[in-house]
């Protein structure tokens, strides 16, 4: 199938783009890497009157570190993020997770801003942003607003972005000393969207979590920052504490059923991932073995 007819425009500045969005936002779509939008156009799942190509806005590209914040421009491509030493040093969870996003051909074109704005609940980056307590920076012609990742995603392919707004950057707090992370996803083949995944960030002091942020994905209509983590912070973790955390997690989950997995299977995988994550971060293989038995 071919896309419906649309008008194409390639602005050369951010201001020009925002003016176009102010005029046509309801009928327009931003084109970034095109890796999700082009298939949607060709399948006629989306039929905008205007396509605003932001691929030339170099102001929105690039990765920098300043004042304890890693800033990634919205049109920074997946491959750039994957190869960046700034990302590897300051937000290793992102580098690790990005290796699981699609395939090289798609990572060469896809952008971080496009990925987050697309808001696929099975996508890796939204869960990482939630786990890392990132802030998403959005702009319209009049103002800029900063949105915590935990408030950005509102449903399947839905975000708080207004039709006249675009994402310009993402800001991630630089990893502090002692911060560790965990990433794992279950999928049918490498590069596929996850069936269930977990991106976690933690601070471990001795045998305890001083902090733990669990970003589950593909277990609901948006990434989930699991409150279950509270069961595990500031205490010695034993099998009973882990079981309590798993029960708390179950209560938070609202997994969908699809061709890949039943809701029951997703619940089981999420519980399993929680045990694996805790055992790995605390270096306590006994916890994982007990839960798997
Ligand atoms: C075969 C295949 C496998 C894939 N597997 C995975 C996977 O495993 N995990 C994963 O996470 N992704 C996967 N993807 C998606 C890929 O990561 C996309 O590139 C990404 O989701 C969208 O980024 P993009 O830059 O291509 O955005 P586009 O396709 O250009 O845009 C996507 C949406 O975001 C909007 N948008 C784009 N930029 C902005 C902005 N700056 N501000 C506001 N709105 C904006 C667009 O208007 C559109 O609605 C896969 C894609 C394909 C084709």
Q: Which atom of ligand 1 is nearest to the CA of 125?
A: 11
| Pocket probe mutation, ligand 1, options 47, 117, 153, max atoms within 8 Å of Cβ | 117
Residues within 6 Å of ligand 1 by CB: 29-37, 39, 74, 101-102, 106, 109-111, 113-115, 117-118, 123-125, 161, 166-167, 192-193
Q: How far is the CA of 74 from the centre of ligand 1 (A)?
A: 11
What local confidence, expressed as pLDDT, does residue 1 receive?
76
* Nearest CA residue ID for atom 9, ligand 1: 101
How far, in Å, is the centroid of ligand 1 from the Cα of 30? 11
What is the predicted pLDDT for the residue at 292? 47
Confidence at residue 214, expressed as pLDDT on a 0 to 100 scale = 98
Q: Counting beta carbons within 10 angstroms of the beta carbon of residue 135, is it exposed (0 to 12), middle (13 to 18) or buried (19 or more)? A: buried
Cβ neighbours, 10 Å, residue 97: 26
Q: Supply the residue whose CA is at minimum distance from atom 43 of ligand 1.
A: 166
Q: 78 alpha carbon to ligand 1 midpoint, in Å?
A: 10
Instruction: Give the position, in ligand 1's atom list, of the atom nearest the Cα of 191.
Output: 8
CA-to-CA separations, 101 to 185, 188, 190, 220, in angstroms, rounded: 11, 13, 9, 19
Among the atoms of ligand 1, which is closest to the Cα of residue 100? 8
Q: How far is the CA of 233 from the centre of ligand 1 (A)?
A: 35
Q: What integer pLDDT is reported at residue 286 of this predicted model?
A: 87
The minimum-distance atom of ligand 1 relative to the CA of 38 is: 29
Answer whether 107's CB lies under 8 Å from 80's CB: no
pLDDT in 10s for each residue of the chain, 293 residues = 789 999 999 999 999 999 999 999 999 999 999 999 999 999 999 999 999 999 999 999 999 999 999 999 999 999 999 999 999 999 999 999 999 999 999 999 999 999 999 999 999 999 999 999 999 999 999 999 999 999 999 999 999 999 999 999 999 999 998 899 999 999 988 888 999 999 999 999 999 999 999 999 999 999 999 999 999 999 999 999 999 999 999 999 999 999 899 999 999 999 999 999 999 999 998 887 655 44
Tokens standing for residue 16: 């020009």
- Ligand 1 atom nearest to CA at 110: 19
Q: Which long-range contacts (CB under 8 A, 24 or more apart) does 55-61 make?
A: 55/10, 55/31, 56/10, 56/11, 56/12, 57/11, 57/12, 57/13, 57/14, 57/17, 59/13, 59/14, 60/14, 60/113, 60/168, 60/169
């Amino acid at each position: 199938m071919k896309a419906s007819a649309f008008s194409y425009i390639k602005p050369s500045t951010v201001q020009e783009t925002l003016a176009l969005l102010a005029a046509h936002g309801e009928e327009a779509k931003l084109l970034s890497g095109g890796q999700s939008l082009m298939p949607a156009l060709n399948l006629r799942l989306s039929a905008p009157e205007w396509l605003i190509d932001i691929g030339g806005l170099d102001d929105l590209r690039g990765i920098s570190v300043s004042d304890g914040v890693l800033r990634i421009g919205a049109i920074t491509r997946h491959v750039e993020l994957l190869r960046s030493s700034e990302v590897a040093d300051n937000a290793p969870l992102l580098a690790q997770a990005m290796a699981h996003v699609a395939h090289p051909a798609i990572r060469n074109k896809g952008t971080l801003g496009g990925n987050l704005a697309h808001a696929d609940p099975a996508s890796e980056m939204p869960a990482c942003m939630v786990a890392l307590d990132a802030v998403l920076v959005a702009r319209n012609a009049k103002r800029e607003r900063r949105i915590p990742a935990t408030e950005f995603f509102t449903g399947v392919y839905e975000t708080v972005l207004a039709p006249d707004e675009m994402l310009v950057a993402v800001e991630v707090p630089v990893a502090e000393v002692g911060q560790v992370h965990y990433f794992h996803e279950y999928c049918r083949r490498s590069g596929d969207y996850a069936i269930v995944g977990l991106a976690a960030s933690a601070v471990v002091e001795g045998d305890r979590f001083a902090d733990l942020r669990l970003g589950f994905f593909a277990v609901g209509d948006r990434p989930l920052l699991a409150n279950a983590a509270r069961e595990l912070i500031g205490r010695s973790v034993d099998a009973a504490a882990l079981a309590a955390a798993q029960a708390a997690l179950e209560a938070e989950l609202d997994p969908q059923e699809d061709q890949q997995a039943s809701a029951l299977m997703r619940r089981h995988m999420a519980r399993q991932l929680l045990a694996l994550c805790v055992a790995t971060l605390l270096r306590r293989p006994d916890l994982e073995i007990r839960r798997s038995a």
